[in-house]
Structure 1
Amino acid sequence: MRVLLNVLCLAAAFNIGLVSAADEAKPAAPVYKTKKLGKAEIDQLLAKPEKLVVIDVRRPDELTKIGGFPVYLSIQLADFEKSLAYIPKDRTIVTVSNHAGRALKTGDILIDKGFKVAGAIGAQNYEEEGGKLTRVEVPQPTAAQK
Structure 2
Amino acid sequence: MKKLILTTLLAAAIAFGQSDGAKQGKKQASQAKVLTRAEIEELLSKPDQVLIIDVRRPDEVKDIGGFPVYLSIQINDLENRLAYIPKDRTIIALSNHAARGARAADILSKAGFHVAGAAGAEDYEAQGGTLTKIAPPAPKAEAKK
Q: TM-score, normalised by structure 2?
A: 0.78
Q: 2:29 aligns with which of 25, 31, 39?
A: 31
Cα distance in 2 for residues equivalent to 1:49 and 1:107? 19
Aligned counterpart, 1:119 = 117
Aligned counterpart, 2:106 = 108
Q: 1:83 aligns with which of 81, 87, 101?
A: 81
Cα distance in 2 for residues equivalent to 1:94 and 1:121? 7
Gaps of 5+ in 1: 1-17
Aligned length: 125
Deviation at 1:25, TM superposition (A): 3.7
Aligned counterpart, 1:93 = 91
Tell me the percent identity.
Answer: 52
**Match of 1:80, SS?**
helix
Gaps of 5+ in 2: 1-12
Task: Give, as a single letter, the amino acid of the residue that structure 2 aligns with 1:37.
Answer: L
Aligned counterpart, 2:58 = 60
Q: TM-score, normalised by structure 1?
A: 0.78
Cα distance in 1 for residues equivalent to 2:113 and 2:99? 19
Aligned counterpart, 1:5 = none
Q: 2:47 aligns with which of 46, 49, 54?
A: 49
Aligned counterpart, 1:4 = none
